[in-house]
Amino acid sequence: MKVIIAGGGTGGHLFPGIALAHELKRRDSSVEILFIGTKIGIESRVVPKEGFKIKYIYAEGFTGKGVFKKIKSISKTPAGTFQSMMILNSFKPDIVIGVGGYAFGPVGMAALFLARLKPRTTKLVIQEQNLFPGLTNRVLGRFADLIFTSFEGSEKFFMGRKIYFTGNPVRKEIADLKSRIVNNQSSIVNRQFTILVFGGSQGAHRINLAMIDSLKSLTKVRDSLFIIHQTGEKDFEFVKKAYEENKFNGEVVPFIYDMADVYRRADLLICRSGATTLSEITACGKAAILIPFPFAVNNHQEMNALALKEHNAAEMILEKELHGELLADMILSLMQDKERLANLERGSRKMGKPEAASEIVEQCYKII
């Protein structure tokens, strides 16, 4: 079988595709997999390291951009579509899996255009990560053979199509993590309460500032805390200095490569609410304080976070309300209320879909 996985730009779009690629290879090592993305997206750095081949096309983001950038993006679409047609003609995939992001648009259009020229032999499927689908997936979803959603409620944006609610694929090492709930209580016994703070691969400046500001309110429990903080490259030095000056124990790093390890160690997460982050933390049943990125396209991060909050799977602070004292109060409340923390873990675990990659691959095999 030959599979093209198209999309990317950000880790939120790419990593579900990586999880699907590994699941395909786990089932059948002879499967040929080709990624299609752009040289400016995260896929150009990650996909080769994961051991997969990748081809590059011209594509650029459209939604949320200014007029001139929209014109620039549109001008690249014909070239990107032509490049995609050439790749599809050469590779001859059995299935194209779109994982969203601007790189999927030209590939999806090329697949549909080629289908008009000759009998449809390549299946087109879409894997949507967010509760509110992006523009590319909403448009191409009208023609897809299958659509896989990560949240209940997304199906209303794809009326009349064949839709499966599978959850968002996560890397196997994360899907295999077990929740640390024992006898309806958190597993914090005779050790430090561990907090994991992160804001994506580039960090999150507002979260970094709020966490530093919260330290003075957390001084009284300093000896009971251990904080793992991914800062991003730009904020690393001043965040690290703040922890040292306030004498807090922890690990302050610009980037975390082994997320499975820090998820395993953490009792509470403080993070954004991108779809891939939420699928990972629910797959391993972790309690979290979610701080949605307010400028996400279609405000999808707030919608994602609300879905967890409504299912008693996470707490949420809007960025416009975020400050150090509020964040510290919420941390202290969850440290002291072990039953509340355990309830969040249970709610998170209930929403988790650790078998999403396996279910999606199974359905893809069925339609070929």
Question: What is the per-residue pLDDT across 188-225, written as a single tens digit (0 to 9) for each?
Answer: 545 799 999 998 767 799 999 999 999 999 999 999 99
- CATH T-level fold of 2-168+354-367: Rossmann fold (3.40.50)
Question: What is the per-residue pLDDT across 327-351, written as a single tens digit (0 to 9) for each?
Answer: 999 999 999 999 999 999 999 999 9
What's the pLDDT at 10? 82
**Is residue 61 pLDDT above 80, yes or no?**
no
Q: For the packed helices 275-283 and 11-27, what is the interaxial angle rounded to 10 degrees?
A: 50
What's the pLDDT at 185? 45
Pick the CATH number of 174-351 from 3.30.70.260, 3.40.50.10190, 3.40.50.2300, 3.40.50.2000: 3.40.50.2000
Kind of pairing between the strands at 95-98 and 2-6: parallel
Residue 157: band (very low, low, confident or very high) from pLDDT cuts 50, 70, 90: confident
What's the pLDDT at 76? 72
DSSP state of 75: H
Residues 6+ apart with CB under 8 A from 203: 230, 231, 232, 233, 234, 235, 254
The residue written with tokens 């549909």 in the block is 112
Residue 65: band (very low, low, confident or very high) from pLDDT cuts 50, 70, 90: low
Question: What is the per-residue pLDDT across 100-124, written as a single tens digit (0 to 9) for each?
Answer: 888 999 999 999 888 877 766 799 9
Which burial class, exposed, middle or buried, applies to 68 when counting CB atoms under 10 A from its CB (0-12, 13-18, 19+)? exposed
Question: What is the per-residue pLDDT across 3-31, written as a single tens digit (0 to 9) for each?
Answer: 999 998 888 889 999 999 999 999 999 99
What's the pLDDT at 351? 94
What's the pLDDT at 11? 81
The residue written with tokens 């391993």 in the block is 284
The residue written with tokens 């790189």 in the block is 103
What's the pLDDT at 179? 44
What's the pLDDT at 180? 45
The residue written with tokens 């879905």 in the block is 307
SS3 call for 240: helix
Please state the domain extents for the chain: 2-168+354-367, 174-351
What's the pLDDT at 117? 76
Q: What is the mean pLDDT of residues 215-242?
A: 96
Continuous H helices in 28-66? 43-49
Distance CA 336, CA 37 (A): 46
Q: What are phi and psi for residue 203, nearest 5 degrees?
A: 80, 180
SS3 call for 2: strand
Q: Among 10-19, 51-60, 199-208, 248-257, name the one with the lowest average pLDDT.
A: 199-208
pTM of the entire predicted model: 0.84
288 near 268, Cβ under 8 Å?
Answer: yes
Query: Do 2-168+354-367 and 174-351 fold alike per CATH?
Result: yes
Residues 6+ apart with CB under 8 A from 280: 170, 171, 174, 259, 263
